[in-house]
């Protein structure tokens, strides 16, 4: 089943609202108008009744009734829509002006002066039936006052007819106006739709202007612009990542091709072939390590790295790593120092890899004859591990970028062993974040430190 568009729904709701308001207003006006006319009719009948009663008070006997007819005719005949009938106690008509009206018998015997309504074919009447006690008569007279209100009913029928016609026209006009207003008000949504339909990698930097957007839609537009900004950032990172991968893989692949072409250019002895194969093996190991690291980062980006949750003493991991790196440190006359202790909940192998990346990085940039310090501090809520080493101060603008993939403060430099692809700090950050922690770098006065902070509880 096809659903109505938002513009059509708003137009329909606007039309229904206008129709409901006009209907209530029209019914209220009709009711008040009929009540007003009915009150006027009653006022006329009561005035004529009181005047007739005043005239009849001077009647000495029924035989003298003819003397009062001129006064009654002048009083009651002045109103062209009013008919008056006076009956004696036996029902005999004593007076009828301007003409005899065939009033039903049931309406002739009412004693209370309450107004009644009566329809006769196409005519409608309102009247009063009252008993008049005349001092000169032993029995009361009956006075019937009948007012023809047919023209009132005709007026209300015409009013209702024109009201229905006007209501239909108003509904159609309001539907059209509602459609125009809704379409104008939803223009920003159409802009979002058009922008989303035309969205491509080249148009991610476009934004919807906020100035003409209504207040109710500004939050939606701001969220959409923020989404575009995130997509643009993610696309740029992916593009840079792809370019970095191509750049990093090009060197070992080029080395492999060059070595192989040189060896195959002529016949060589077994030693030359072995030397070439060993050289190729180093490049293949570097490519294998790079591929493993990229797969690890891809899993971390998609939340597929779920570390185990066991209590681990960080000083034990650092001690084992000191034993592993001791030989390398001795060769460069570098001292490894550990102070403090603390624990964190996590995966021992993953934390071992993260701290190992920091120690390896510190050994790479520490001048010979200096010391690398690892400090562990613990509070009631967090455990912090810091790896500090002397060396060149890193400019502040590079500190936040150190953890990006393949990032180097100086792109022209190719520090470290051939297996170093610039992914170690990115992997360390992914491991720390998988443990719900935080990592940052500080560098000042010739000393650089990397800090990892872990929560002590399992709660996020």
In the chain, domain spans: 6-164, 215-301, 310-455
Which residues, in sequence order, are bridge partners of residue 85? 96, 144
- Which DSSP symbol is given to 257? H
Nearest one of 388, 384, 394, 396 to 343, comparing CA atoms: 384
Per-residue model confidence (pLDDT) at position 457: 67
Q: Token pair for residue 125?
A: 């009447």
| pLDDT attached to residue 408 | 62
| 215-301 CATH, one of 1.10.3720.10, 1.10.287.130, 1.10.390.10, 2.40.50.140 | 1.10.287.130
Lowest mean pLDDT among 261-270, 352-361, 405-414: 405-414
Residue with tokens 């613990």: 378
Ranges of beta strands (E only) in 78-121 are: 82-87, 93-97, 116-120
Q: Which of 186-190, 377-381, 418-422 has the lowest mean pLDDT?
A: 418-422
Q: Which residues pair with 311 in a beta bridge?
A: 345
Judge contact between 387 and 449, C-beta under 8 A.
yes
**Among 91-100, 320-329, 350-359, 399-408, whose mean pLDDT is lowest?**
91-100
User: With 70 as the cut, is the pLDDT of residue 224 above it?
Assistant: yes
**How does the average pLDDT of the chain come out, rounded?**
80
The answer to whether residues 221 and 208 touch, using CB atoms and an 8 Å cutoff, is: yes
For 12, residues 6+ apart whose C-beta sits below 8 A from its C-beta are 4, 175, 178
Q: Which residue has the higher pLDDT, 201 or 439?
A: 439
Phi/psi at 149 (5° precision):
-115, 25
| C-alpha dist (Å) from residue 402 to 373, 430, 438, 443, 450 | 20, 13, 14, 12, 11
Q: Is the predicted pLDDT of residue 355 greater than 90, yes or no?
A: yes
Q: Quick: pLDDT tens for 286-298.
A: 777 777 767 776 7
Q: Which residues contact 160 (CB under 8 A, 6 or more apart)?
A: 30
Of 334 and 135, which is predicted with more confidence?
334
Q: Give the pLDDT score at 244.
A: 66
In the three-class reduction of DSSP (H, G, I as helix; E, B as strand; rest coil), residue 72 is classed as: helix
Q: How confident is the model at residue 460 (pLDDT cuts 50, 70, 90)?
A: very low
Q: Is the pLDDT of residue 358 over 90?
A: yes
- Record: fold of 6-164: Beta-Lactamase (3.30.450)
The pLDDT assigned to 113 comes to 63
Least confident of 165-174, 213-222, 227-236, 387-396: 213-222
| % of the chain at pLDDT higher than 90 | 17
Q: How confident is the model at residue 339 (pLDDT cuts 50, 70, 90)?
A: very high
Which pair of tokens denotes residue 392?
Answer: 């060149």
Determine how β-strand 371-378 pairs with β-strand 335-340.
parallel
Task: Please indicate whether residue 158 or residue 192 has the higher confidence score (pLDDT).
Answer: 158
pLDDT digits 0-9 by tens, 18-71: 999 999 998 998 889 888 888 888 888 888 888 877 777 766 666 666 677 777
pLDDT category at 333 given cuts 50, 70, 90 is very high
Looking at 138-214, list the stretches that DSSP marks H as alpha helix, in order from N- to C-terminal side: 150-185, 187-197
The average pLDDT across 72-94 equals 74
Long-range Cβ contacts of 318-327 (<8 Å, 24+ apart): 318/355, 318/374, 318/376, 318/385, 320/352, 321/352, 321/355, 321/356, 321/359, 324/356, 325/359, 325/360, 325/363
Confidence of residue 438 (pLDDT cuts 50, 70, 90): very high
Is 178 exposed, middle or buried (CB count within 10 Å of its CB: 0-12, 13-18, 19+)?
buried
Q: Work out the pLDDT band at 274, boundaries 50, 70, 90.
A: confident
The whole-number average pLDDT for the span 361-369 is: 91
345 against 279, higher pLDDT: 345
Top mean-pLDDT range of 66-70, 101-105, 297-301, 430-434 = 430-434
Q: Are 312 and 354 in contact (CB under 8 A)?
A: no
Domain 310-455 has CATH 3.40.50.460: no
Lowest mean pLDDT among 116-125, 231-240, 417-426: 417-426
In what side-by-side order are the strands of the sheet with 123-132? 93-97, 82-87, 141-148, 123-132, 116-120
pLDDT value of residue 151: 83
Tell me which residue of 303, 308, 385 sits closest to 341, measured CA to CA. 385
- β-pairing, 382-390 vs 371-378, is antiparallel
* Cβ neighbours for 88, distance < 8 A, ≥ 6 positions apart: 62, 94, 139, 141, 142
């Amino acid at each position: 089943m096809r659903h109505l568009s938002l513009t059509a729904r708003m137009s329909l709701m606007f039309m229904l609202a206008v129709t409901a308001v006009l209907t209530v207003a029209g019914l209220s006006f009709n009711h008040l108008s009929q009540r007003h006319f009915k009150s006027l009719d009653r006022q006329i009948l009561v005035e004529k009744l009181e005047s007739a009663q005043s005239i009849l008070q001077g009647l000495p006997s029924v035989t003298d009734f003819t003397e009062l007819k001129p006064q009654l005719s002048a009083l009651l005949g002045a109103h062209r829509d009013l008919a008056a009938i006076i009956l004696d106690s036996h029902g005999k008509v004593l007076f009828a002006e301007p003409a005899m009206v065939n009033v039903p018998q049931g309406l002739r015997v009412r004693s209370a002066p309450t107004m009644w309504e009566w329809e006769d074919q196409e005519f409608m009447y309102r009247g009063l039936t009252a008993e008049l006690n005349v001092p000169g008569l032993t029995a009361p007279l009956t006075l019937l006052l009948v007012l023809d209100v047919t023209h009132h009913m005709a007026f209300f029928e015409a009013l209702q007819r024109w009201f229905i016609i006007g209501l239909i026209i108003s509904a159609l006009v309001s539907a059209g106006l509602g459609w125009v207003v809704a379409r104008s008000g939803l223009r920003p949504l159409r802009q979002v739709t058009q922008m989303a339909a035309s969205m491509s990698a080249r148009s991610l930097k476009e934004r919807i202007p906020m100035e003409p957007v209504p207040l109710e839609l500004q939050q939606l537009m701001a969220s959409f612009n923020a989404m575009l900004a995130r997509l643009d950032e993610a696309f740029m990172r992916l593009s840079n990542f792809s370019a970095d991968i191509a750049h990093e893989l090009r060197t070992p692949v080029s080395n492999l091709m060059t070595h192989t072409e040189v060896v195959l250019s002529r016949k060589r002895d077994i030693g030359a072939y072995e030397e070439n194969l060993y050289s190729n093996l180093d490049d293949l190991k570097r490519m294998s390590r790079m591929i493993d690291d990229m797969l690890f980062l891809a899993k971390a980006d998609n939340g597929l790295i779920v570390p185990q949750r066991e209590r681990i003493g960080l000083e034990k991991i650092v001690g084992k790593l000191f034993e592993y790196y001791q030989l390398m440190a001795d060769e460069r006359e570098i001292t490894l120092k550990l102070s403090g202790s603390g624990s964190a909940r996590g995966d021992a192998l993953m934390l071992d890899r993260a701290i190992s990346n920091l120690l390896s990085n510190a050994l790479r940039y520490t001048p010979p004859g200096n010391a690398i310090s690892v400090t562990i501090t613990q509070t009631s809520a967090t455990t912090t591990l810091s790896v500090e080493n002397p060396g060149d101060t890193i400019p502040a603008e590079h500190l936040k970028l150190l953890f990006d993939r393949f990032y180097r403060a100086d792109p022209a430099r190719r520090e470290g062993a051939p297996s170093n692809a610039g992914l170690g700090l990115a992997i360390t950050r992914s491991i720390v974040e998988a443990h719900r922690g935080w990592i940052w770098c500080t560098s000042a006065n010739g000393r650089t430190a990397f800090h990892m902070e872990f929560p002590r509880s399992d709660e996020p």
